[in-house]
Amino acid sequence: MMRIFAALAFALAAPAIAQVPPRTLPELKEEVQARADRHAYPVSELVPAEVREALANLKSLDRDEWAAAWSSIGERHMANARKAELAEMASPAEAAKEYKYAFEYYLFARFPLENSPGKEKAYARALEAFTGYARLQDPKLEIVKIPFEGKEIVGYLRLPKGVRPAPIVVTIGGLDGRKENASFRSDAYLKHDVGYFSFDMPGTGQSTIRQVVPGAEREFSRVLDYVATRKDIDAKRVVVYGGSWGGHWSARVAYAERERIRGAVVQGGPVHEYFQPEWQKKAITTREYLFELFEARAAIYGAKTLDEFLAYGPRMSLKTAGWLDRPSAPMLLINGMRDTQVPIEDLFLLMRSGSPKEVWINPQGGHMGRNPQLSDQRIFETVTLPWVVRILQPAASQ
Protein backbone atom coordinates (compact mmCIF):
# COMPACT_ATOMS: atom_id res chain seq x y z
CA MET A 1 0.00 0.00 0.00
CA MET A 2 1.20 3.46 -0.84
CA ARG A 3 2.28 5.46 2.16
CA ILE A 4 1.82 9.22 2.06
CA PHE A 5 3.66 11.24 4.65
CA ALA A 6 2.86 14.92 5.08
CA ALA A 7 5.15 17.38 6.79
CA LEU A 8 3.81 19.67 9.48
CA ALA A 9 2.33 22.72 7.80
CA PHE A 10 4.62 25.66 8.30
CA ALA A 11 3.08 29.04 7.50
CA LEU A 12 5.11 31.21 5.17
CA ALA A 13 5.16 34.95 5.68
CA ALA A 14 4.18 35.45 2.03
CA PRO A 15 2.07 33.56 -0.53
CA ALA A 16 3.58 31.35 -3.24
CA ILE A 17 6.44 33.07 -5.01
CA ALA A 18 5.34 35.08 -8.04
CA GLN A 19 7.17 35.40 -11.35
CA VAL A 20 9.16 38.62 -11.48
CA PRO A 21 12.04 40.17 -13.50
CA PRO A 22 15.65 39.17 -12.69
CA ARG A 23 17.20 40.65 -9.58
CA THR A 24 19.16 43.85 -9.75
CA LEU A 25 22.62 43.88 -8.13
CA PRO A 26 21.32 45.40 -4.86
CA GLU A 27 18.47 42.90 -4.77
CA LEU A 28 20.83 40.01 -5.43
CA LYS A 29 23.18 41.13 -2.69
CA GLU A 30 20.32 41.42 -0.23
CA GLU A 31 18.98 37.96 -1.09
CA VAL A 32 22.37 36.22 -0.96
CA GLN A 33 23.12 37.73 2.44
CA ALA A 34 19.68 36.82 3.78
CA ARG A 35 20.15 33.22 2.69
CA ALA A 36 23.64 33.08 4.15
CA ASP A 37 22.37 34.43 7.47
CA ARG A 38 19.83 31.63 7.74
CA HIS A 39 22.16 29.01 6.17
CA ALA A 40 19.92 28.43 3.18
CA TYR A 41 20.64 27.05 -0.29
CA PRO A 42 22.86 27.72 -2.19
CA VAL A 43 25.02 29.46 0.44
CA SER A 44 24.22 27.28 3.43
CA GLU A 45 27.88 26.35 3.95
CA LEU A 46 29.34 29.86 3.65
CA VAL A 47 30.24 32.09 6.61
CA PRO A 48 27.82 35.05 6.77
CA ALA A 49 30.59 37.55 7.59
CA GLU A 50 32.64 36.37 4.62
CA VAL A 51 29.59 36.53 2.39
CA ARG A 52 29.18 40.16 3.43
CA GLU A 53 32.83 40.77 2.55
CA ALA A 54 32.51 39.23 -0.92
CA LEU A 55 29.30 41.11 -1.67
CA ALA A 56 30.91 44.40 -0.69
CA ASN A 57 33.53 43.81 -3.40
CA LEU A 58 30.93 43.03 -6.05
CA LYS A 59 30.29 46.11 -8.21
CA SER A 60 28.39 44.60 -11.14
CA LEU A 61 26.68 41.47 -12.39
CA ASP A 62 29.60 40.67 -14.67
CA ARG A 63 30.23 36.92 -14.49
CA ASP A 64 33.98 37.16 -14.12
CA GLU A 65 33.65 39.82 -11.44
CA TRP A 66 31.25 37.52 -9.61
CA ALA A 67 33.78 34.69 -9.86
CA ALA A 68 36.61 36.89 -8.62
CA ALA A 69 34.71 38.18 -5.58
CA TRP A 70 34.02 34.70 -4.24
CA SER A 71 37.28 33.15 -5.42
CA SER A 72 39.24 35.65 -3.37
CA ILE A 73 37.68 34.19 -0.22
CA GLY A 74 38.37 30.72 -1.54
CA GLU A 75 42.03 31.56 -2.11
CA ARG A 76 42.35 32.67 1.51
CA HIS A 77 40.97 29.36 2.75
CA MET A 78 43.15 27.45 0.31
CA ALA A 79 46.23 29.18 1.69
CA ASN A 80 45.10 28.42 5.24
CA ALA A 81 44.62 24.77 4.32
CA ARG A 82 48.10 24.41 2.89
CA LYS A 83 49.60 26.19 5.85
CA ALA A 84 47.83 23.85 8.29
CA GLU A 85 48.82 20.80 6.26
CA LEU A 86 52.50 21.72 5.92
CA ALA A 87 53.14 23.24 9.33
CA GLU A 88 55.73 21.64 11.61
CA MET A 89 52.86 20.65 13.89
CA ALA A 90 50.55 19.69 11.03
CA SER A 91 46.81 19.70 11.69
CA PRO A 92 45.03 17.45 9.15
CA ALA A 93 41.60 18.22 10.61
CA GLU A 94 42.16 21.97 10.35
CA ALA A 95 43.53 21.60 6.84
CA ALA A 96 40.51 19.54 5.77
CA LYS A 97 38.15 22.14 7.20
CA GLU A 98 39.90 24.92 5.29
CA TYR A 99 39.96 22.91 2.04
CA LYS A 100 36.22 22.39 2.41
CA TYR A 101 35.62 26.10 2.89
CA ALA A 102 37.82 26.84 -0.11
CA PHE A 103 35.77 24.42 -2.18
CA GLU A 104 32.48 26.00 -1.11
CA TYR A 105 33.58 29.51 -2.09
CA TYR A 106 35.06 28.42 -5.40
CA LEU A 107 31.92 26.49 -6.24
CA PHE A 108 29.70 29.45 -5.50
CA ALA A 109 32.08 31.54 -7.61
CA ARG A 110 31.00 29.47 -10.63
CA PHE A 111 27.30 29.38 -9.68
CA PRO A 112 25.11 28.33 -11.34
CA LEU A 113 27.32 27.10 -14.18
CA GLU A 114 30.75 27.56 -15.75
CA ASN A 115 29.80 30.10 -18.44
CA SER A 116 32.74 32.53 -18.38
CA PRO A 117 36.54 32.24 -18.17
CA GLY A 118 36.52 33.33 -14.54
CA LYS A 119 33.85 30.82 -13.63
CA GLU A 120 35.68 28.02 -15.43
CA LYS A 121 38.82 28.85 -13.46
CA ALA A 122 36.83 28.90 -10.22
CA TYR A 123 35.43 25.44 -10.95
CA ALA A 124 38.93 24.09 -11.62
CA ARG A 125 40.06 25.52 -8.29
CA ALA A 126 37.03 23.97 -6.58
CA LEU A 127 38.13 20.55 -7.83
CA GLU A 128 41.66 21.21 -6.56
CA ALA A 129 40.33 22.16 -3.13
CA PHE A 130 38.15 19.07 -2.96
CA THR A 131 41.10 16.87 -3.90
CA GLY A 132 43.00 18.36 -0.97
CA TYR A 133 40.06 17.68 1.30
CA ALA A 134 39.66 14.11 0.07
CA ARG A 135 43.32 13.33 0.68
CA LEU A 136 42.86 13.94 4.41
CA GLN A 137 39.74 11.87 5.04
CA ASP A 138 39.46 8.84 7.28
CA PRO A 139 37.77 6.58 6.30
CA LYS A 140 39.29 7.00 2.88
CA LEU A 141 37.52 9.10 0.26
CA GLU A 142 38.50 7.43 -3.00
CA ILE A 143 38.50 9.30 -6.31
CA VAL A 144 37.28 6.65 -8.76
CA LYS A 145 37.62 6.72 -12.55
CA ILE A 146 35.45 4.27 -14.48
CA PRO A 147 36.13 3.67 -18.21
CA PHE A 148 33.03 4.50 -20.25
CA GLU A 149 32.65 5.00 -24.00
CA GLY A 150 36.24 6.12 -24.47
CA LYS A 151 36.12 8.49 -21.48
CA GLU A 152 36.12 8.16 -17.71
CA ILE A 153 33.29 8.60 -15.22
CA VAL A 154 34.77 10.46 -12.25
CA GLY A 155 33.16 9.81 -8.90
CA TYR A 156 33.84 9.70 -5.18
CA LEU A 157 33.54 6.51 -3.19
CA ARG A 158 33.58 6.39 0.60
CA LEU A 159 32.81 3.33 2.69
CA PRO A 160 32.21 3.01 6.44
CA LYS A 161 34.83 1.39 8.61
CA GLY A 162 34.41 -2.23 9.61
CA VAL A 163 31.55 -3.04 7.21
CA ARG A 164 32.39 -5.31 4.28
CA PRO A 165 30.77 -5.63 1.91
CA ALA A 166 29.08 -2.28 2.55
CA PRO A 167 25.74 -1.08 1.21
CA ILE A 168 25.91 2.24 -0.65
CA VAL A 169 23.89 5.21 -1.84
CA VAL A 170 24.62 6.27 -5.42
CA THR A 171 24.07 10.04 -5.43
CA ILE A 172 23.55 12.02 -8.62
CA GLY A 173 24.41 15.72 -8.82
CA GLY A 174 21.85 18.33 -9.89
CA LEU A 175 21.68 21.26 -12.28
CA ASP A 176 23.96 23.57 -10.27
CA GLY A 177 25.14 21.30 -7.47
CA ARG A 178 27.98 18.90 -8.04
CA LYS A 179 29.14 15.50 -6.83
CA GLU A 180 31.33 17.19 -4.24
CA ASN A 181 28.29 18.74 -2.51
CA ALA A 182 26.65 15.34 -2.52
CA SER A 183 29.73 13.80 -0.92
CA PHE A 184 29.76 16.23 2.00
CA ARG A 185 26.12 15.55 2.80
CA SER A 186 26.42 11.81 2.25
CA ASP A 187 29.11 11.55 4.94
CA ALA A 188 26.19 11.26 7.38
CA TYR A 189 25.47 7.78 6.02
CA LEU A 190 28.78 6.47 7.34
CA LYS A 191 27.50 6.52 10.93
CA HIS A 192 24.76 4.14 9.80
CA ASP A 193 27.21 1.71 8.19
CA VAL A 194 26.29 2.88 4.69
CA GLY A 195 28.75 4.17 2.11
CA TYR A 196 28.22 6.30 -0.98
CA PHE A 197 29.32 6.88 -4.54
CA SER A 198 28.69 10.38 -5.91
CA PHE A 199 29.02 11.67 -9.47
CA ASP A 200 27.76 14.43 -11.76
CA MET A 201 24.61 14.25 -13.89
CA PRO A 202 24.79 14.55 -17.70
CA GLY A 203 25.55 18.00 -19.02
CA THR A 204 27.29 19.17 -15.83
CA GLY A 205 30.58 18.98 -13.99
CA GLN A 206 32.81 16.12 -15.09
CA SER A 207 30.09 13.95 -16.60
CA THR A 208 31.19 12.01 -19.67
CA ILE A 209 27.88 12.87 -21.36
CA ARG A 210 27.98 16.56 -22.15
CA GLN A 211 24.30 17.04 -23.03
CA VAL A 212 21.06 15.82 -21.52
CA VAL A 213 19.52 13.24 -23.86
CA PRO A 214 17.13 10.30 -23.49
CA GLY A 215 19.24 7.23 -22.82
CA ALA A 216 21.94 9.08 -20.88
CA GLU A 217 21.03 6.89 -17.92
CA ARG A 218 23.36 4.32 -19.49
CA GLU A 219 26.13 6.19 -17.66
CA PHE A 220 24.44 5.28 -14.37
CA SER A 221 24.12 1.67 -15.48
CA ARG A 222 27.87 1.64 -16.03
CA VAL A 223 28.35 2.84 -12.45
CA LEU A 224 26.24 -0.09 -11.23
CA ASP A 225 28.37 -2.42 -13.37
CA TYR A 226 31.43 -1.06 -11.61
CA VAL A 227 29.83 -1.41 -8.18
CA ALA A 228 29.23 -5.09 -8.92
CA THR A 229 32.99 -5.62 -9.44
CA ARG A 230 33.91 -4.29 -5.99
CA LYS A 231 34.17 -6.99 -3.35
CA ASP A 232 34.01 -4.32 -0.63
CA ILE A 233 30.55 -3.17 -1.81
CA ASP A 234 27.31 -5.11 -1.41
CA ALA A 235 25.90 -4.77 -4.92
CA LYS A 236 22.59 -6.21 -3.72
CA ARG A 237 22.09 -3.27 -1.36
CA VAL A 238 22.20 -0.10 -3.44
CA VAL A 239 19.90 2.93 -3.31
CA VAL A 240 20.01 5.78 -5.82
CA TYR A 241 19.42 9.40 -4.77
CA GLY A 242 18.82 12.41 -6.99
CA GLY A 243 17.69 15.91 -6.08
CA SER A 244 16.16 18.47 -8.45
CA TRP A 245 17.40 17.63 -11.98
CA GLY A 246 19.26 14.71 -10.43
CA GLY A 247 15.84 13.44 -9.37
CA HIS A 248 14.89 12.99 -13.00
CA TRP A 249 17.80 10.62 -13.39
CA SER A 250 17.12 8.73 -10.17
CA ALA A 251 13.57 8.13 -11.43
CA ARG A 252 14.94 6.83 -14.73
CA VAL A 253 17.28 4.49 -12.90
CA ALA A 254 14.41 3.25 -10.73
CA TYR A 255 12.75 2.02 -13.91
CA ALA A 256 15.77 1.01 -15.99
CA GLU A 257 17.65 -0.76 -13.19
CA ARG A 258 14.83 -1.93 -10.91
CA GLU A 259 16.38 -5.39 -10.60
CA ARG A 260 19.72 -4.02 -9.43
CA ILE A 261 18.74 -1.41 -6.84
CA ARG A 262 16.80 -1.52 -3.58
CA GLY A 263 15.15 1.83 -4.15
CA ALA A 264 15.44 5.41 -5.38
CA VAL A 265 14.85 8.83 -3.82
CA VAL A 266 13.35 11.35 -6.24
CA GLN A 267 13.48 14.78 -4.57
CA GLY A 268 12.00 17.57 -6.66
CA GLY A 269 12.72 15.73 -9.91
CA PRO A 270 11.32 16.71 -13.34
CA VAL A 271 9.03 14.09 -14.87
CA HIS A 272 6.66 15.47 -17.52
CA GLU A 273 4.93 18.79 -16.81
CA TYR A 274 8.34 20.38 -16.13
CA PHE A 275 9.30 19.81 -19.75
CA GLN A 276 6.27 21.55 -21.23
CA PRO A 277 6.80 25.04 -22.71
CA GLU A 278 3.89 26.50 -20.74
CA TRP A 279 5.58 25.61 -17.44
CA GLN A 280 9.06 26.68 -18.46
CA LYS A 281 7.96 30.12 -19.62
CA LYS A 282 6.81 30.77 -16.06
CA ALA A 283 9.43 28.82 -14.16
CA ILE A 284 12.51 30.48 -15.64
CA THR A 285 11.44 33.79 -14.10
CA THR A 286 11.02 32.54 -10.53
CA ARG A 287 12.85 34.26 -7.71
CA GLU A 288 13.10 31.01 -5.83
CA TYR A 289 16.31 30.66 -7.89
CA LEU A 290 18.99 33.32 -7.44
CA PHE A 291 19.82 34.13 -11.07
CA GLU A 292 20.53 32.69 -14.53
CA LEU A 293 18.07 29.82 -14.23
CA PHE A 294 17.36 29.87 -17.96
CA GLU A 295 21.07 29.89 -18.78
CA ALA A 296 21.71 26.88 -16.55
CA ARG A 297 18.75 24.94 -17.88
CA ALA A 298 19.46 25.74 -21.52
CA ALA A 299 23.14 24.79 -21.19
CA ILE A 300 22.46 21.14 -20.36
CA TYR A 301 20.34 20.87 -23.53
CA GLY A 302 22.94 22.65 -25.64
CA ALA A 303 20.21 25.19 -26.48
CA LYS A 304 21.20 28.72 -27.45
CA THR A 305 17.80 30.39 -27.68
CA LEU A 306 14.54 30.27 -25.75
CA ASP A 307 12.78 28.66 -28.72
CA GLU A 308 15.40 25.91 -28.94
CA PHE A 309 15.14 25.34 -25.21
CA LEU A 310 11.34 25.10 -25.19
CA ALA A 311 11.34 22.76 -28.18
CA TYR A 312 13.99 20.45 -26.70
CA GLY A 313 12.47 19.79 -23.29
CA PRO A 314 9.47 17.57 -24.20
CA ARG A 315 11.72 14.82 -25.56
CA MET A 316 12.87 14.17 -21.96
CA SER A 317 9.36 13.46 -20.63
CA LEU A 318 9.05 10.10 -18.88
CA LYS A 319 5.31 10.10 -19.56
CA THR A 320 5.67 10.64 -23.29
CA ALA A 321 8.31 7.92 -23.41
CA GLY A 322 5.87 5.50 -21.77
CA TRP A 323 7.93 4.90 -18.61
CA LEU A 324 5.45 5.80 -15.87
CA ASP A 325 3.29 2.67 -15.93
CA ARG A 326 6.26 0.32 -15.99
CA PRO A 327 7.24 -1.54 -12.82
CA SER A 328 9.98 0.19 -10.87
CA ALA A 329 12.14 -0.17 -7.81
CA PRO A 330 10.57 1.33 -4.65
CA MET A 331 10.69 5.12 -4.68
CA LEU A 332 10.54 7.86 -2.09
CA LEU A 333 9.13 11.03 -3.65
CA ILE A 334 9.89 14.36 -1.93
CA ASN A 335 8.90 17.93 -2.76
CA GLY A 336 7.01 21.02 -1.69
CA MET A 337 3.54 22.06 -2.83
CA ARG A 338 4.81 25.57 -3.60
CA ASP A 339 7.72 24.56 -5.80
CA THR A 340 8.07 27.16 -8.56
CA GLN A 341 10.98 25.38 -10.27
CA VAL A 342 9.56 21.87 -10.76
CA PRO A 343 5.76 21.50 -10.75
CA ILE A 344 4.29 19.44 -7.93
CA GLU A 345 2.15 17.75 -10.59
CA ASP A 346 5.25 15.78 -11.59
CA LEU A 347 5.40 14.18 -8.15
CA PHE A 348 1.70 13.36 -8.42
CA LEU A 349 2.24 11.76 -11.84
CA LEU A 350 4.84 9.41 -10.39
CA MET A 351 2.70 8.75 -7.33
CA ARG A 352 -0.34 7.73 -9.37
CA SER A 353 1.53 5.52 -11.83
CA GLY A 354 3.23 2.15 -11.87
CA SER A 355 4.54 0.49 -8.72
CA PRO A 356 3.68 1.59 -5.13
CA LYS A 357 5.67 4.52 -3.82
CA GLU A 358 6.18 6.46 -0.61
CA VAL A 359 5.62 10.21 -0.62
CA TRP A 360 6.64 13.12 1.59
CA ILE A 361 5.25 16.57 0.82
CA ASN A 362 5.72 19.83 2.68
CA PRO A 363 2.44 21.72 2.09
CA GLN A 364 4.25 25.05 2.59
CA GLY A 365 7.51 24.02 0.91
CA GLY A 366 9.19 25.27 -2.22
CA HIS A 367 11.65 23.40 -4.41
CA MET A 368 12.95 20.18 -2.84
CA GLY A 369 10.39 20.69 -0.05
CA ARG A 370 12.43 23.42 1.64
CA ASN A 371 11.21 26.66 3.17
CA PRO A 372 12.61 29.05 5.81
CA GLN A 373 11.28 26.84 8.59
CA LEU A 374 12.41 23.51 7.12
CA SER A 375 15.92 23.45 5.65
CA ASP A 376 17.47 21.06 3.16
CA GLN A 377 19.56 19.60 5.95
CA ARG A 378 16.53 19.00 8.17
CA ILE A 379 14.68 17.23 5.35
CA PHE A 380 17.75 15.10 4.70
CA GLU A 381 18.14 14.16 8.36
CA THR A 382 14.49 13.41 9.08
CA VAL A 383 13.18 12.08 5.76
CA THR A 384 15.81 10.98 3.26
CA LEU A 385 18.44 9.42 5.50
CA PRO A 386 16.04 7.30 7.62
CA TRP A 387 14.30 5.97 4.50
CA VAL A 388 17.57 5.07 2.80
CA VAL A 389 18.94 3.35 5.89
CA ARG A 390 15.72 1.38 6.31
CA ILE A 391 15.62 0.26 2.68
CA LEU A 392 19.24 -0.87 2.88
CA GLN A 393 18.80 -3.07 5.93
CA PRO A 394 19.92 -6.66 5.22
CA ALA A 395 16.41 -8.06 5.71
CA ALA A 396 14.72 -5.47 3.45
CA SER A 397 12.67 -6.83 0.60
CA GLN A 398 13.80 -6.01 -2.90
Nearest by Cα to 360 from 381, 341, 372, 340: 381
Last residue of a domain, one of 93, 109, 136: 136
Residues 86 and 187 reside in one and the same domain: no
Residues 362 and 339 reside in one and the same domain: yes
Residues 9 and 79 reside in one and the same domain: no
* 3-class SS of residue 245: helix
Residues 208 and 352 reside in one and the same domain: yes
Domain assignment present for 396: no
Question: What is the pTM for the complete model shown?
Answer: 0.93
* 3-class SS of residue 1: coil
Residues 100 and 153 reside in one and the same domain: no
Last residue of a domain, one of 136, 169, 193: 136
Residues 222 and 362 reside in one and the same domain: yes
Structural domain for 339, as ranges: 3-23+140-391
- Residues 169-215 have pLDDT tens digits of 999 999 999 999 999 999 999 999 999 999 999 999 999 999 999 99
Task: Identify the band that residue 276 occupies on the pLDDT scale cut at 50, 70 and 90.
Answer: very high
Q: What is the pLDDT of residue 239?
A: 98
Mean pLDDT, the chain, whole residue set: 93
Task: Identify the band that residue 87 occupies on the pLDDT scale cut at 50, 70 and 90.
Answer: confident
Residues 121 and 211 reside in one and the same domain: no
Residues 119 and 147 reside in one and the same domain: no
Domain assignment present for 35: no
Last residue of a domain, one of 105, 136, 167: 136
Domain assignment present for 108: yes
Distances (CA, A) of 242 to 49, 136, 169, 373: 31, 27, 10, 23
Domain assignment present for 39: no
Domain count, the chain: 2
Q: What is the pLDDT of residue 32?
A: 98
Instruction: Determine contact, residues 183/170, Cβ cutoff 8 Å.
Output: no
Residues 157 and 215 reside in one and the same domain: yes
